[in-house]
Chain A
């Protein structure tokens, strides 16, 4: 176990100051080198490099500060503790465009890990550790969660860390808190409702006129998508069709609350006057195990497959098979919603994957920051969910995984390539597009709908002109 084998200099009680005794030795570690990827390197290089790092750090500060805050350790606080001054925006100050210290430090650290530059790694992890906080501004949060992943990577404890985080989340998860969280998120941000509205529109149009509907819902959104669809079915002027809803649960966390959800859904359907049947499929190791029988697909049903953030949980090599399996169900429509990030093509290049991961989560965290109040517990929980994903992608080996909680995201264009093998794309009608636009108007400015270029399929939700969520519809 890497951590406990690390020998540290004991808490000093008048012992020789190994930490910051005098200037030169402040970064000198008395740790025995152990067999992680970080062999020790000469102290001098570290010293030299560290002032470069501090410079870089100070110079990345916001336009508020002129660079006179540049701190020369030698002239001020020396000899005892080597404390350095830095002048990033910090809390309470608006973060200007240039104020991206976290991103720079994190990327440098990822590169250092890839290069196996031990002294640099140590130095950067130290800086990140001092500056990060999951309760501060965006930069501090990103620094905190990515630091955790980098630290796990450096200590080869990613898998263990992920398991612990997941266990804790499962323990503290309950229907009320989960429901509250999802509903609050949907209230302040169209991140999930965008996909719901577009997919529902496509499903309703594809299944129009059918008397027996079977919707296979592969998602973790706790059925928040379906009330509006049920309502639409109930208020159509022709006969209300029979709806069978089969929810396929992939995350352990969600499994425990499905009972409560099924009760509510059944009650709601009764209220709406929609003949309704609700089933849950769980306990799968991966989606490829699904079959017609398991799902309860029968001949006279019109099937719709709704895949919300589910394909990314399928192991990369298994994705074609799962898509093929969908095809074998003979659906009238398949709707796919995914987040716009590529952790798949980059999965063998740590730095590239890291940078893409950082890019995506930066957008996500900033979006959360602007959508919620500063002291929102819901925002905090969403951020913590991200922390698990980040550790999983960056610090765990793919082949270690047995639980199926991988989240190697792909971009819409990449998914399209895959789906085209078995399906052809269906455009979204003007009505659906209008519905989506109306939805976006209900939220704070910054959100927009982007329709793709010629060869691309689906619709994109954009946040400050950055595409973040992709929705698409397919037919055999």
Chain B
């Protein structure tokens, strides 16, 4: 049965990533991971890895952005003092807490956007490739003048918008959007092209007085899948969450998973496989999938049902074409005796969950045994300028990570940058941020969960860390990605910047 299960896993991964080594199967999480990981490392062809190094040196963009934005903020007129950073003090502080970067961003503006220099505390360090990054000063000298002037102009535009000088902003944006190309070799220029366009859209929306988004979910999902193929972040989110859920479901016969934004359900086949092949036998699984369109949900449900059937696992799917923060508890078909997991992979593509306070309240009411949360290390709240600076750093980093691996004219890279990342940038810079609703959004969910009496953090286990590490080894420029364990969370980032944080929580009143 093990072998059959292995093949199924293989097939699942097949549809996601062309290159993979059959180095592990999920049922082996009890095996000593070091040796497995070592085997993984040696089997990746060295040649392709060396090729990947070529682009790295050119893309020290995020370091440079940090420097320039620092200067800009220093020069700003006194503005935007409404950001609050109370959340950073509520985090637990175990022994291996990540070191906070010692740079000097004014805390009033950028508290939660500071890139955190982290110390990798895991013992997989030796298996990581040697650190190519030489530090900040290299970055500045390598960026060309063109990139420099573009980013400077971009920052000026942002300031103009933040003080409502739309006429001036519009004029500068006309210039910028003609000068920067999204197909450029330089990541800086690509980032500027998209940020400039996003701000142009915003200026028009300001003038129109309308800010609701129009979304093509199919295109977005397509791009999401493409991103999943070339970048480890999504898989990181999936597999670490799956591991936490798996552990929460230990010895439980009837389980229920609510996925707050299921999209195409890419995450679940891997978990189903493990559940179906576990020692105590498969549980009965109910899944509530939430999303935007009933048609897309039904399709996803069908796929998952078929997969579960092939595994011989009893499975039910309930689609809800609504936002989690807009339903009440009666809509969730949770039965007595079911162990509940709520999963949320946050993104900035659109507002997936609705009002935050209602989302929180419903979570409390449901009392899940586990909540798996994966957050972007990026705040959606705050003033325009806050979001601008934070997202400029964040997406520069992401663009860097793509640029290190993909050619400048790669159409897949373009699709990811245009249909996915640009969409997020657009949303974040739009009036009212991604939710576009004018309501207050929570800055950082794990702080909010920590602050409430109803929830307790469940530290990510070493098995989750192992999963994450194995994923990293699948992606060629592994030495650019940085994985850190600390605060009970797992964080995956590029170079010195953390991009995604996975955490898990349990409810006091959970079944």
Contacts and interface: CB of A to CB of B under 8 A. Distances in A.
Interface of A: 1, 3-4, 6, 8-21, 26-31, 65, 68-69, 71, 75-88, 90-93, 122-123, 125-127, 129-131, 133-136, 147, 151, 155, 157, 160-161, 164-165, 168-169, 172, 373-377, 380, 384
A377 B180 CA distance: 10
A136 B214 contact: no
A6 B212 contact: no
A18 B174 contact: no
B333 to A, nearest CB: 19
B103 interface: no
B409 A29 contact: no
Contacts of B384: 11
Nearest to B412: A92
Interface stretch (B62-70, B217-225, B254-262, B393-401): B217-225
B351 A80 contact: yes
B242 to A, nearest CB: 28
B204 A81 contact: no
Q: How large is the interface on B (under 10, 10 to 19, 20 to 34, 35 or more residues)?
A: 35 or more
Interface string B179-210: 10111100000000110010001011111111
Contact of B184 (A79, A157, A377): A377
B353 to A, nearest CB: 10
A20 B438 contact: yes
Contact of A19 (B410, B431, B440): B431
B486 interface: no
Given A8-B207, A20-B436, A71-B293, A84 B166 contact: no
Contacts of A71: 293
Name the residue in A10, A13, A17, A86 with the highest tally of chain B Cβ atoms < 10 Å from its Cβ.
Answer: A13
B408 interface: yes
Contacts of A88: 216
Name the residue in B166, B168, B355 with the highest tally of chain A Cβ atoms < 10 Å from its Cβ.
Answer: B166
A6 B210 CA distance: 13
Contacts of A11: 383-384, 431-432
Contacts of B284: none
Contact of A17 (B181, B409, B422, B437): B437
B292 A20 contact: no
Given A86-B214, A122-B209, A127-B214, A18 B438 contact: yes
B171 A164 contact: yes
Contact of B438 (A8, A21, A28, A129): A21
A169 B178 contact: yes
B438 A12 contact: yes
B411 A84 contact: no
B358 to A, nearest CB: 10
B181 A377 contact: yes
A85 B211 contact: no
Given A3-B166, A11-B431, A375 B212 contact: no
Q: Is the interface of A mostly helix, strand, loop or mixed?
A: loop
Given A11-B431, A21-B438, A165 B415 contact: no
Contact of A16 (B177, B208, B325, B438): B438
B175 interface: yes
B125 interface: no
B435 interface: yes
A62 to B, nearest CB: 11
Interface string B134-164: 0000000000000000000000000000001
Contacts of A82: 212
B211 A20 contact: yes
Contacts of B435: 80-81
Contact of B166 (A4, A86, A165, A377): A4
B183 A19 contact: no
B28 interface: no
18 contacts: A3-B167, A8-B431, A13-B383, A19-B432, A26-B210, A29-B208, A31-B207, A71-B293, A76-B322, A77-B322, A78-B326, A81-B432, A92-B419, A133-B418, A134-B197, A136-B418, A136-B419, A373-B409
B279 to A, nearest CB: 41
B411 A374 contact: yes
A376 B168 CA distance: 30
A8 B215 CA distance: 24
Contact of A30 (B170, B209, B325, B415): B209
B253 interface: no
A84 B351 contact: no
Given A76-B321, A90-B216, 7 more contacts: A4-B167, A15-B438, A77-B292, A87-B216, A92-B222, A122-B209, A377-B181
A29 B217 contact: no
Contacts of B21: none
Given A19-B438, A29-B208, A129-B204, A384 B432 contact: no
Contact of B414 (A12, A90, A374): A374
Contact of B208 (A83, A87, A126, A375): A126
Given A21-B437, A27-B210, A91-B418, A126 B205 contact: yes
A274 B279 CA distance: 89
Contacts of B181: 377, 380
A207 B204 CA distance: 55
A104 to B, nearest CB: 15
A174 to B, nearest CB: 12
A12 B177 contact: no
Contacts of A20: 211-212, 432, 436-438
Interface string B322-333: 110110000000
A308 to B, nearest CB: 25
Interface in B408-450: 408-411, 414-415, 418-419, 422, 431-432, 435-440
B179 A168 contact: yes
Contacts of A161: 174
A83 B212 contact: yes
A2 to B, nearest CB: 8
Contacts of A77: 292, 322-323, 326, 351, 354
